Structure 1
């Protein structure tokens, strides 16, 4: 049985890590080596791909933080959770829901859905 909330918290911690070495350790903890990530605007594979995605989001939205929206849920080896992204202390700018496959307690695949995005 998986601790879905712990898995989701590890994911969020990796996305919030700005120190390169700390982020690498958090990515290794949260994701399998062969992880695949897909959402409507970006994709990446493996730890290096996840690191590049995180660095890109942090570069585009400096000072923004990810947070979980509610509790994660799931069954068997599938988890889903919702998240918010924005400056601390103000309403989120971007929100989404991720559906992921788990292998040995880490995320093997992530499919992201964007629930709220800023108007262009």
Structure 2
């Protein structure tokens, strides 16, 4: 049985990780052959996920990811929402991710962007 909270928290920890601890947290959260897709970016494998995380951290310095609400799912599928923004203020970007789980780690993630800053 999958612990959806633990899986989502591992995902958030990986996205918040600084370079020195990032690889370890990526390995904890994602399978080696993970595939990530959202409307803006995509990446495959641990190296691809690491590149995506580095890119987001570079574009939004000082921002942190937080879980929004309670993760849920069934069988090998998880759904959770997240928020991204400076610590202690309202989020700037929000999204919802759907993932496929294999052995307690994410094997596939499809992301949806729910809120973006007005242009």
- Name the TM-score, length of structure 1 as normaliser: 0.98
| Structure 2 CA distance for aligned equivalents of residues 59 and 21 of structure 1 | 15
The Cα of 1:39 is off from its aligned counterpart by 0.2
Structure 1 unaligned blocks of 5 or more? none
SS at match of 1:41: coil
Aligned to 1:4: 4
Aligned to 1:115: 114
The Cα of 1:70 is off from its aligned counterpart by 1.1
| Structure 1 CA distance for aligned equivalents of residues 57 and 21 of structure 2 | 15
| Structure 2 CA distance for aligned equivalents of residues 44 and 16 of structure 1 | 17
Matched, 1:17 2:25: no
Spell out the pairing of 1:1-120 with structure 2 (5 A cutoff). 1-18=1-18, 20-120=19-119
Structure 2 unaligned blocks of 5 or more? none
The Cα of 1:119 is off from its aligned counterpart by 1.9
| Structure 2 CA distance for aligned equivalents of residues 119 and 60 of structure 1 | 17
Aligned residue pairs: how many?
119
- Name the TM-score, length of structure 2 as normaliser: 0.99
| Structure 1 CA distance for aligned equivalents of residues 88 and 30 of structure 2 | 29
The Cα of 1:21 is off from its aligned counterpart by 3.0
